[in-house]
Structure formats: C-alpha cells, structure tokens
Structure 1
Amino acid sequence: MGAAMNPPGMSEAKTPVNRRRGRLQLLLILLGVIGPMILATGMYKLQFWVPEGRSYHGELIGNGQTRADIGVPAQEDRWQLLVTAPKDCSVDCQQLVYLARQIQIGLGRDASRASHALAIAQPLNSDYATKLQREYPQLQRYSLDPPTYIKGAQSNDTPHLWIIDPHGNLVLRYDPTVKGKDLLNDLRHLLKLSNIG
C-alpha cells in the first residue's frame, strides 16, 4: 500500500526540482534586499539618476566635510547655524549673524535643538563685540583658520552661513543673499527628518 502511494523514484525526482526552486527563491529575496542598497550606493558614488529637482535653497554639501575641514575645530551636539567670516565681520557677516539668531528663535519649540555661532579670522571691533555680548548672549564664538577655510570651503573672503548637523557634518551653505524664510524652511525640514540633535 505504501509503495502504491509513493512509486519508487518519485521522491528522488522531486528533490532536485525543489532545491532549484528554493535556491531561486532565496536568490530573489537576496536581490530584493541587497539590490536597492547596491543601486543607492552606486547612485551616490557615481552620481547617476540623481534628480535635478530639489527642495532646499542652499548649496548642499554632500562630500562628507566637517566643521574642522573649514577651519572651525569646535564641537556642538546640536544642529548649528554657523556664520563664517574669513576676514572681519562686516555688514554681510553681521546680517548673517542676525539672521542665524532669528532663525533659531523662529524654530519655536524646536529652538533648543539648534544653536547659532560665529567663526571669524580677525578680532571683532569693540562696538560690535559689545553689541554681541549685550544682544546675543547665547552666540558661540570661535576662531577661524583662514588657509584651512579657503581650501575647505572653496570660497573667497565672502561670509557664509552653514547648517551643521550634531555630528559636525556640513549640510547646507548659504551666501549673504539668502532669504530668512527659505533658510527657516530648510532647517525645519532637516529637524523633522532627523532623529539626532
């Protein structure tokens, strides 16, 4: 009776087919999991199929540069709006410092997730230094190494405002013509997507 139900050689014939089918399923599962990661890495490294449209207003810094690469050795464990001035802090620099503070205030309940800072190569004039102490008590100040800044930022002596993540990575860069609303929207978007800082 048992022989009638399972003719000789029948189970042996099904085994190689089942093995091939199982291997094929395993291969498809691995391709489904690993394939997108390989594709995404290739897109990032080789810059192909990168969308032309963007939802941010500054210049995206996607090369892994950190604060130290632009001559600012300090570390902060929050998001930071950093104004850099490779010379003195003139009108454009002062406007960016004011904007950085306004953006932090504009974050509302997320204001504690960000800080604002100034990195300059030359000492501040006494009037502006007094104004900063009086009106910008939370502003952090750093020294800036001009040769490192010019090399790392690939910039001339124009002041810039940078958004820096809590790990010290440069994320976005803005020149003095940036609109406050655009900058605020960019930072809000980053904070919404981020679970750090």
Structure 2
Amino acid sequence: MKLNSQSILAAKNLKKIKSGNRFVQGLSILASVVLPITAAYVVYYTGLGVPKNTINQGELLQPPFDIAEIKITQQGQQFSLVSEAESKWRYLIISDSDCGKDCEDLLYISRQVHIRLGEKAHRVERLLVVSDSLDEKRQEQIQIQHPKLKIVNLDGENFKQLIEKTDHDSVTSTKALLVDQEGFAMMAYDRQHSGNQLLKDIKRLLKYSYEQ
C-alpha cells in the first residue's frame, strides 16, 4: 500500500509538471505572436529605438487621432466616419469640396498603391472626405475613375475638427491620412510623397499586423 501511495503521488506530480510545461509553452507561443506586433506599433507610434530617417516615409501624427471622434449625421442619426464593423487599414484623402489637382494626385497615387498590394489589397480601404456636399457631376466623374472609392461628406464643423486634429507642419491641408485597424490616424502624406513611399509604409504595417 505504501508503494502504491508513492506511485500515485509521483504520477500526480508528473502530471502537474507536464501541465505546467504546457502552460509555459502556450505563453511562449502567444508571446512570439503578440510581441512582434506590439513592437512594430511602438516603433511606428513613437520611433523608439530606430533612427528617424528610417522609421517611416509619411509624417507621424503625434499623438495619433481617433477618427471615431468624427461623426457623420444622416437622417438625424450619427455614424462614425469609418466603419467599426470592418477592421481595415484605410487611406482618408482629405480635400475641400471640389477635389482639385492635389486631391486628384492623391487619389491616383493611393489607387496605384492599392493595386500594387495584390492579394493584401482587401485589407485596405480608400475614402475621399470632403467638406459639405461634393457636386453631383464631380462625384460621378470621380466614381468612374475610382469605382472602389468611398466618398464621405462632412459638415463644416466636423471637417474643421478633422483638419485641426490631423494637422502637421510638413503636410498640406489636402492630404492622405493612414488610419490603422483600430481607427487611429497615425501618418499623413501629401502630393510631395511618392507612391513608393506610401507603399513601403503600408506593406510593412500589413506585415506586422494581424488580419481580423
């Protein structure tokens, strides 16, 4: 009986050790997935530990701006500027109501970047955000050239807030904002930035972020 008790105790201890090992292994696997993603976000949001000239091609917005603060009012109801149901990276092209030359250039550049993403293009969405109402004829012209583009009209107050909250000394008011999967505008570009620069940033971010 004494031997049996010792055997049972040893078996229980062995089971606990194996269970503990599985727990540690699980934590290790989780850490191997989460830590690189977290590190990538820290680098992009703060630039910590990386020389400034190698961090990003766009201009960092510090702090990042939560796009959820911008609301669209339709038929008496308020909606967020970007859909909370779809976890995507987004380019928000910000322009005045006529979408002039700078706006057209950014639409073209962002479209080419979107195409060049290939199989990862479904993780990115493009929106044109304009003040007040875009002329119906002008909107039709833009939609023909950019069939997958979403066009959003903001009232004067919300448009002004968006411009002010995403202002950057190195970027013009007509700009493209890169918005992460959580809805934070984190970088800004204008027509002085090339398609290759936009592509380099978004490809790196897609690589180090998970598809939800």
**TM-score normalised according to structure 1 size:** 0.67
Partner of 1:96: 106
Larger-gyration structure (1/2):
1
CA gap 1:131/1:190 in 2 versus in 1, 3 angstroms: same
Partner of 1:192: 207
CA gap 1:173/1:69 in 2 versus in 1, 3 angstroms: farther
Match of 1:110 among 95, 112, 120: 120
**Higher alpha-carbon deviation: 99-108 or 155-164:** 155-164
Fraction of identical pairs, as percent: 27
CA contact (8 A) 1:64 1:170 kept: yes
Is residue 2:92 matched to residue 1:82?
yes
Matches within 5 A, 1:1-197: 51-69=51-69, 73-76=80-83, 77-144=87-154, 145-154=158-167, 158-197=173-212
The structure 1 segments of at least 4 consecutive aligned residues displaced by more than 6 Å after TM superposition are 46-50
1: CA distance, partners of 2:141 / 2:93: 16
CA contact (8 A) 2:89 2:125 kept: yes
Secondary structure in 2 aligned to 1:61?
strand
Secondary structure in 1 aligned to 2:178?
strand
**TM-score normalised according to structure 2 size:** 0.63
Partner of 2:25: none
CA gap 1:193/1:148 in 2 versus in 1, 3 angstroms: same
Name stretches of at least 5 consecutive residues in structure 1 with no aligned partner.
Answer: 1-39, 41-45
CA contact (8 A) 2:61 2:185 kept: yes
CA gap 1:56/1:125 in 2 versus in 1, 3 angstroms: same
CA gap 1:157/1:180 in 2 versus in 1, 3 angstroms: closer
CA contact (8 A) 1:70 1:152 kept: no
Query: As a proportion of its length, which structure holds more strand?
Result: 2
CA gap 1:180/1:50 in 2 versus in 1, 3 angstroms: closer
Name stretches of at least 5 consecutive residues in structure 2 with no aligned partner.
Answer: 1-38, 40-45, 73-79
Shift of residue 128 of structure 1? Answer: 2.9
Shift of residue 162 of structure 1? Answer: 1.1
